[in-house]
Each structure stands twice: as structure tokens, then as C-alpha cells.
């Protein structure tokens, strides 16, 4: 099993157990990334530790978000998408359609839930059928006409079931003026990239929690890929390889890519620079560090401190623009982030109605 180590000017790997025929080696998948990354940043750039002294030779500098030039719909992205506004109020909102309940990986911090009170990803008041999407979007626009983005971010993975693409096709046809934004764990991204482009996804978020299989195996329990179950470092190696291949494929097709990483003290917190450099070289244009919300199998772990979050952002900013105003959006959020959420007004009658939809 090939292990990704610290990616510097020279990538160090170690051989272990046998490679699975179903799992492509990460060494080949990341060699080009490492080489590109090594030339994109000085080899001497150090990743600041959470306890580093405040006086340092390097100071974070603003990094321009890399926006694909081949997609004219992204020309005014900072004015149209609240996640790309650089923290400046742009009075634009988003609507998350909760149409994707199933998932194909098992993150140890994740607990999908249907409720109306938790403010975190993976949570929704309800799950929509694709044929309910148009009415919901029309209602939301009537309440919040500043909506400019339709996003699908769960409550499971958008590529694990076919419902996200079905919803996007309808939105593309009936509300073509709205940007289409999707989040995924990336396991199936390369497999489904052509369909993703066909339905008109403009911006894509991929959650990449580590680029080292040994560390990622501490974060993710298992992966189900093409009907086969993988666990441990084998599962982690497969997931990393597919994520990087998918990011490259999306970048080649002029899709704007943001990468999310859940910051977990003691596991990946000291390696954020490595992750950021790797995904930037693969084609990501923006990076978002999400502090761990202790939950599920990681309920006993501490949340990152402010110092750890700041150190991680500083490490990432050496390589890629960093998104700093994440609101931990629910999978059914509606409105301007940080402002009034219209979700309950839209979803309440659906929550009270009989649930006859069991996809996922």
C-alpha cells in the first residue's frame, strides 16, 4: 500500500501491504500534483504549528481566488455567490435543496439527521423528491428574491444517488439565471464528471480531509465503491486517489472548485499546508477550513481552538485563497448566509406532510 507522506520538493513514499487491483496507486495519481506543488511554492515554506510564536518570517498575504476563464457564468462570481465574496457582504443568498440522503463513505465525525434545530452540515428538516424542487425554488424566490445560487449539499452525498442531477436539470431548464452549486465527498466525481457538466454545475465543493491514507483512515471508517466495501488505509487510498482525479477533471472542464477540510486536532491539524498545496495543484481555486464539531464517533475529541484555526488558515494561505466566513450551513439553508433563514417557512408544510419518499 502506497502512503502519501509530506509533499515537498521530493515526495516520500513507503511501501506496505499489497495493492488492491480495485484501488489505483496513489503514488501515480499524486506525483504530478507534488511536482507542480513543489514549483508553485518555495521549498522552505514551513507549515506554522498551532503553538508557533507570533513573530514569524512569513506573513499571510491575500491570495486571488482562481476562477476558470472558460466559464462566462463565473465572470461576476464574487458578486453572485456568497461563498466567493471574500467575506464582503454581497447581499446575495443561496438555497440548498435537500434531495440527496444517501452516502457512500462513513466519516467518523458525521451524523446525518432530520431536524429543524441543529446548525451544521448533514442536517435537514426534510428530504425533497426531485419533482418537488421547482415549487420549492419558486416559493423561496418569492420570500427571498436576492437568492442567486441553488446548491445541493446533502444531507448525504450528492453523487451517491441520482437525485441531485435530476434536480439540477429542472433548475437549469426553469431557473437558468441561478448559479448551480454542488458539494460532494469526491468518491464518484471522476466517474460522473461528464454528467455533472451536462446538468450545468457551475461551482463545486469537494471535501478532502487529508491526503495521507494513514491519517485519513483515522477520519473515515469505510468506503463503498462500485458495490465493494473498503476499510482502513485501503479505503482512504481509494478515496484520496478519486478525489484528486475528480478535482483535476472538473478543473479541466472549467468548473470552479472549492475544497473543504474538517480541521481535527491531533490528526490533520498539523498537515493543512500539505493538503492545501495538493488540492491547489490539482485545480482547486478556494479552500475552506471547517473546525471539527465534536459529534458521532468523534464526540469526545476537542474542537479546534482559535489559535489552531488561525494557524491552519495561515498554513493554507501560502498556497491557495482561504474562505474565512463559513456558516456551517445546513443542507436545507435558504437566504443570505448569516442573515434570516427562510428554511422553516418553506419546509414546514413538507415536514408536517406524510413522508412517502424513501430514496437513499
Domain regions of the chain by residue span: 58-352
Quick one: pLDDT at residue 94? 78
> Half-sphere exposure of residue 11, counting CA atoms within 13 Å on the CB side?
24
- Looking at the predicted structure, is the pLDDT value of residue 136 above 50? yes
Instruction: Assign 31 to helix, strand or coil.
Output: helix
Residues 285-301 have a mean pLDDT of: 93
Instruction: Assign 135 to helix, strand or coil.
Output: helix
Q: Please name every residue paired with 267 in a beta bridge, in sequence order, or none if there are none.
A: none
**Percent of the chain scoring above 70 in pLDDT:** 62
Highest mean pLDDT among 46-55, 108-117, 306-315, 338-347: 306-315
- Looking at the predicted structure, is the pLDDT value of residue 49 above 60? no
Residues 329-339 have a mean pLDDT of: 67
8 A C-beta contact, residue 258 and residue 204: yes
Q: Poorest-confidence range of 77-91, 143-157, 165-179, 312-326?
A: 77-91
Residues 119-142 have a mean pLDDT of: 80
- Looking at the predicted structure, is the pLDDT value of residue 16 above 90? no
8 A C-beta contact, residue 256 and residue 74: yes
Distance set, CA 83 to CA 78, 163, 168 (Å): 8, 24, 19
Residues 256-265 have a mean pLDDT of: 95
57-62 long-range contacts, CB within 8 A, separation 24+? 58/318, 60/313, 60/314, 60/317, 60/318, 61/317, 62/321
Distance of CA 250 to the CA centre of its chain: 13
Architecture of the 58-352 domain: Alpha-Beta Barrel (3.20)
Contacts of 331 (CB under 8 A, 6+ apart): 96, 98, 121, 122, 123, 124, 153, 154, 155
Amino acid at each position: 500500500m502506497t502512503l502519501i507522506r509530506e509533499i515537498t520538493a521530493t515526495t516520500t513514499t513507503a511501501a506496505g501491504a499489497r495493492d488492491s487491483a480495485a484501488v489505483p496507486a496513489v503514488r501515480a495519481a499524486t506525483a504530478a500534483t507534488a511536482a507542480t506543488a513543489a514549483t508553485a511554492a518555495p521549498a522552505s515554506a514551513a507549515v506554522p504549528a498551532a503553538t508557533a510564536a507570533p513573530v514569524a518570517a512569513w506573513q499571510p498575504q491575500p491570495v486571488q481566488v482562481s476562477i476558470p476563464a472558460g466559464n462566462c457564468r463565473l465572470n461576476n462570481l464574487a458578486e453572485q455567490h456568497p461563498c466567493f465574496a471574500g467575506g464582503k457582504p454581497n447581499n446575495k443568498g443561496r438555497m440548498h435543496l435537500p434531495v440527496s440522503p444517501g452516502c457512500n463513505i462513513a466519516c467518523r465525525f458525521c451524523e446525518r439527521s432530520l431536524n429543524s434545530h441543529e446548525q451544521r452540515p448533514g442536517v435537514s428538516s426534510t428530504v425533497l423528491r426531485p419533482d418537488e424542487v421547482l415549487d420549492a425554488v419558486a416559493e423561496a424566490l418569492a420570500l427571498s428574491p436576492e437568492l442567486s445560487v441553488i446548491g445541493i449539499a446533502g444531507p448525504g452525498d450528492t453523487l451517491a444517488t441520482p437525485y441531485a442531477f435530476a434536480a439540477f436539470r429542472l433548475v437549469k431548464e426553469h431557473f437558468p439565471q441561478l448559479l448551480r452549486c454542488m458539494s460532494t465527498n469526491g468518491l464518484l466525481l471522476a466517474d460522473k464528471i461528464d454528467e455533472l457538466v451536462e446538468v450545468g454545475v457551475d461551482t463545486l465543493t469537494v471535501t478532502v480531509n487529508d491526503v495521507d491514507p494513514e491519517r485519513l483512515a483515522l477520519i473515515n471508517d469505510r468506503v463503498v465503491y462500485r458495490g465493494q466495501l473498503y476499510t482502513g488505509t485501503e479505503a482512504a487510498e481509494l478515496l484520496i486517489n478519486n478525489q484528486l482525479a475528480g478535482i483535476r477533471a472538473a478543473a479541466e472542464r472549467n468548473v470552479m472548485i472549492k475544497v473543504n477540510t474538517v480541521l481535527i486536532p491531533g490528526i490533520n491539524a498539523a498537515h493543512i499546508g500539505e493538503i492545501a498545496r495538493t488540492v491547489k495543484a490539482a485545480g482547486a481555486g478556494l479552500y475552506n477550513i471547517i473546525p471539527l464539531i465534536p459529534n458521532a464517533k468523534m464526540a469526545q475529541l476537542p474542537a479546534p481552538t482559535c489559535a489552531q484555526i488561525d494557524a491552519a488558515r495561515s498554513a493554507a494561505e501560502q498556497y491557495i485563497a482561504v474562505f474565512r466566513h463559513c456558516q456551517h450551513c445546513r443542507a436545507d439553508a435558504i437566504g443570505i448566509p448569516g442573515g434570516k433563514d427562510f428554511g422553516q417557512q418553506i419546509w414546514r408544510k413538507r415536514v408536517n406532510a406524510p413522508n412517502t419518499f424513501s430514496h437513499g
